[in-house]
Amino acid sequence: MRAEREPVVAIDGPAGAGKGTVARLLAERLGYRLLDTGAMYRAIALSVMRAGVDPDDAQALARHLDRIDVSLDDGRVRLNGEDVSGVIRTQEVGQLTSTLSMQSIVRDKVTPFQRRAASPGGVVIEGRDTGTVVCPDAEVKFYLTASLDTRARRRYLEVTAQGASVSYDQVRLEVAARDAQDANRAVAPLRRADDAVEVDTTRLSVDEVVERMLQIVGERRCCTR
Ligand code: DC
């Protein structure tokens, strides 16, 4: 029988559904560790970009992956020891990340690390496949959604606040393209786990989403102890 542990809370959903923000707040409120799996994929994309590796050249990509080390600790993501948490948040890195994360050699590099990091429990893990592939036995699973316009508006506000000069229409197109790419890929596509609770954040404030999720975690927690 499995030893009792604090729950693993897995949060998946498309870009802009609010996963990053609510995962961080939920982890703070619960006193759990936060695992941002997208940050690991982004760090890989950054290193591929910096090294000028052709993402379609499978052999070059495999050689490059062998040479790099990506880790997550204290909410910071490190690439060969360098804290890259800030520089991975650009549209350019996001776009390449979506392409690279379709490849199984890339996923095979980070999935075991994420699984090990989540296994003791007491963790909020956030991404696209955390409830389906990384932690299929997570005690609590959420699938966050929001309308395309809402998600595009959130992304637009986020990137323009960082100083990027893009139009709303451009961001909307990019979000839609990323949705299609993440959902239609052959390996670990974005999908709601059968046992995930779906939360549509279109008309909810961040606080409302977090409160709703806390309530569900509380209910599950008392039943698994
Ligand atoms: O959540 P994010 O925007 O940081 O994710 C960046 C990209 O990484 C996104 O296009 C999908 C991919 N990703 C993934 O394939 N699997 C995960 N568990 C997390 C992110």
pTM: 0.91
State how far the Cα of 208 lies from the Cα of 201, in Å rounded to an integer: 9
127 CA → ligand 1 middle, Å: 6
State how far the Cα of 87 lies from the Cα of 189, in Å rounded to an integer: 26
7 CA → ligand 1 middle, Å: 23
Distance between first and last Cα of the chain: 13
What are the structural domain ranges in the chain? Answer: 7-217
CATH fold of 7-217 reads: Rossmann fold (3.40.50)
Instruction: Give the mean pLDDT of 14-23.
Output: 91
Q: Which residue has the higher pLDDT, 165 or 136?
A: 136
Query: Given the DSSP bridges, would you call strands 140-145 and 70-73 parallel, antiparallel or unpaired?
Result: unpaired
pLDDT band, residue 68 (cuts 50/70/90) = very high
CB 81 within 8 A of CB 154: no
State how far the Cα of 15 lies from the Cα of 129, in Å rounded to an integer: 13
Instruction: Give the mean pLDDT of 16-22.
Output: 91
pLDDT band, residue 224 (cuts 50/70/90) = low
pLDDT band, residue 162 (cuts 50/70/90) = confident
Q: Is 174 in the pocket of ligand 1 (CB under 6 A)?
A: no
pLDDT of res. 225:
56
